[in-house]
Structure formats: C-alpha cells, structure tokens
C-alpha cells in the first residue's frame, strides 16, 4: 500500500482536487511532493486514531468514575461526568499543545538562525503518535482494571446463580 501511494504521488498527473486545495491554500507546497502527501495521509490516519482513543478514554474513565461513586448509576450522572472529563481534556490538551508548539518553535528558530521556519508536518505526526500511544496504554489499563473485571465478575455471578 505504501509503495502504491509513493508511486501514485510520483506521477505527474493533474489532479483537480489537489490543485483546487492548493489554490485555496489547504495543500501548501508542491502538488507532486510525495513526502508531503505521505505525511498528510499519515496525519489523517493518526488523527482518526487519536479521536478513537480519546472517545474510548472518556468512555472508560467515566465508567470507572461513575462506578466508584456511591450514587445511583444513571445516564445523566454518566453524561455529566463525560462532559466534565471532555472539558478537562480539551483544556489541558490545548495548554500542552501550546507549550509544545512554543518550545518547538523556539528550538527550531534557534537551530535555523534567522531562516524562515515552516512547521513541518512530520513533527505534528510525531506528536499525534506519542499522544496516541500514551492514551492507548492508559485505555488498556482502564479496560483491564475496571471494564473487563466487571464483565468477568458479572459473567461469573450469572453463571453461578443458574
């Protein structure tokens, strides 16, 4: 698949979609630059994985928190906990992303010494990959510790009562 994408991007075929996106400023640089195309495809894949792991993280964490609370497990309590978790994640995520961007811009400006610096997409891909891996590991821990344990306990209770 990767070889096919590289070969496809090496072709000098006019693609009206890419040319339109380039004209609007959504596809900067050379239209036929294979490295940029591959990093943009990788960015889209990593973004989709990031959305998936964030949704599952909010779901697993809200389930664990609601089960730990002594209140009756209602849908409204779980939705409230999910909303609070999502707001906290967005707030801290934007703070961390801002600090990382400032750090990387300062570091790259120091390295470039006055040259024009464009934020490379490979750096964004790397940040998304690291975030996906960290949140994925936390998801696995939450699933094994809270969700799967409850499924096993429920199955054993149902099996033993029959």
C-alpha torsion angle, residues 35, 38, 41, 43 (rounded to 10): -60
pLDDT, tens only, 21-32: 667 666 655 555
Q: How many CA atoms lie within 13 A of 81 on its CB side?
A: 20
pLDDT, tens only, 39-76: 778 888 998 999 999 999 999 898 888 888 867 767 88
pTM for the structure as a whole: 0.66
pLDDT at 118: 61
pLDDT, tens only, 93-128: 889 888 877 777 777 666 666 555 565 777 788 888
């Amino acid at each position: 698949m990767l070889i096919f994408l590289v070969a496809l991007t090496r072709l000098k075929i006019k693609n009206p979609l890419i040319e339109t996106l380039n004209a609007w400023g959504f596809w900067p640089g050379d239209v036929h630059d294979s490295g940029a195309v591959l990093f943009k495809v990788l960015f889209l894949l990593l973004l989709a994985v990031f959305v998936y792991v964030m949704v599952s993280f909010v779901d697993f964490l809200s389930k664990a928190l609601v089960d730990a609370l002594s209140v009756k497990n209602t849908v409204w309590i779980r939705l409230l906990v999910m909303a609070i978790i999502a707001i906290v994640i967005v707030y801290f995520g934007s703070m961390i992303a801002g600090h990382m961007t400032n750090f990387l811009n300062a570091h790259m400006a120091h390295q470039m010494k006055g040259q024009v610096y464009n934020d490379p997409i490979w750096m964004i891909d790397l940040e998304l990959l690291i975030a996906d891996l960290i949140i994925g590991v936390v998801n696995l821990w939450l699933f094994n510790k809270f969700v799967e344990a409850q499924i096993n306990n429920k199955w054993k209770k149902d099996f033993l009562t029959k």
